[in-house]
Amino acid sequence: MKEASDCKLEGACDGPINLFNLQVAPDLLSACIHCGLCLPACPTYLATGHESQSPRGRIYAVMKSQGGQVERALDHLSTCLGCLGCQTACPSGVQYESILEQVRPALAARRSWPARTAMRLFFRLLGNYGLLRLLFIPVRFVQRLSLDRLPEVLVRLCPFLKGTWLGRLASWRQFTPAVPVHKSLPARLAGQGAEKPVPVQFFQGCVMDIFYNQVNHAAMKALAGAGLTCNLPRQTCCGALAFHAGDVDIARQLAKENMAHFENLGGEIVVASAGCGAMLKGYEHLFAEGEPERARAAQFSRRVKDFSQVMASHLPPQPQKRESGAKEAPRVAYHAACHLAHAQGVRAEPEAVLNRLAAEGCLKRVPLADAEHCCGSAGIYNLLNTELSLQVLEAKMDSLQASGAEVVVTANPGCLLQLEAGVRARGLNVKVKHLAELCRD
């Protein structure tokens, strides 16, 4: 996440990009030499074959928009996953993330008033964990009675409803897993087997703890098993969904709250959600030079570690073989979450943890083609651009099916949601798991 702190709520920006007319600093755009090496790394280009859906096509549209013609450029940018695979592949060092993040407030400003109001209310709700859990109790009740299928049934009976909000609800159902009964995380879980357990602070996340509460439990137990005393301090939403939607003011407020909660607590801040981790590590860039929060944010972000980073640094010296007679180890493929591999640059650590589990006989690794290609989730992208999201997912499912894996493991709740949707749609006998769950199996 690059500098975005100057972007105001309504789209004005005092930095290199003017969000009203997309007047971009020439050196930011001229870094792109239009070589096309980004194309094989761009899931939306691979799904559509359209140059306008590629990184260089989007940059070109921004260049052509100079002088006030912004709608076409914003149309192209609105379909970008923000996976940053292009930035990893680019030989010229194009700061694509900087362009995208600073344009998102302009995309937010284009939304209708009801849509933007609803989204802002939702982002603020994510910061209130107690209320969020209460609101998802009726969702679980609706799911158990299969009432969530009603919009889908109505659209099937009345096809003309497909283009309405009812049709949208029907399409969203596929991305909503069964909401589990919430079990409160322990306030403290003592480290095991260490003379002086190292204290760490666990960041539970909002979406992660609602849909994948069992992953948080597994992560805390795995950390404790590695000899770390895992604490659960007061906290709020990381702000990633609000920031990616262009509501920078909400993201800044949530960042300030989290910094206050963790400031006087010692130890690393461990995150099991790659999306949360990328956001927390980028807090510094939410604040401009000279703002008092910037130095505090930089100090906060240096403490943030992904779950895999902490586990990899606390692996025992030698593998511990499983007992003989245990059931055959499953074939496991690894899908690298974009916000872990591309945004955070964390690649070796999850591989190290999986390789250790394989050495201990807990699993058999199988390769997944294009493992670092986006699955199409990208925060709330699958809700805003459902059709294109599913096209991107198809490529990931082709790779997964060809791998012969019995389990696909990843490190982000959005990826878990998306991969589960793909597995259900294809009827594959594949389990979707978080790395933390493998560490506890």
Can you list the domains of the chain with their CATH numbers? 17-110 (1.10.1060.10), 113-175 (no CATH), 188-312 (1.20.1050), 318-440 (3.40.50.1860)
What are the residues facing 431 on neighbouring strands? 407
pLDDT of residue 325: 57
Q: Is 427 exposed, middle or buried (0-12, 13-18, 19+ CB in 10 A)?
A: exposed
131: Cβ contacts below 8 Å, ≥ 6 apart:
125
pLDDT of residue 423: 95
Cα(138)–Cα(142) distance, integer angstroms:
6
pLDDT of residue 9: 29
By percentage, how much of the chain surpasses pLDDT 70? Answer: 91
What are the residues facing 364 on neighbouring strands? 331
pLDDT of residue 68: 61
pLDDT of residue 6: 39
Spell 66-80 as b/e; 16+ CB within 10 A means b.
beeebeebbebbbbb
Q: Which residues of the chain register pLDDT less than 50?
A: 2-20
What are the angstrom distances between the C-alpha of 149 and each of 153, 174, 299? 6, 10, 47
Q: Would you call 113 helix, strand, or coil by DSSP?
A: helix
Name the amino acid, one letter, at 327: K
349: Cβ contacts below 8 Å, ≥ 6 apart:
306, 308, 309, 311, 312, 313
Instruction: Judge whether 127 and 74 are in contact, CB under 8 Å.
Output: no
pLDDT of residue 23: 55
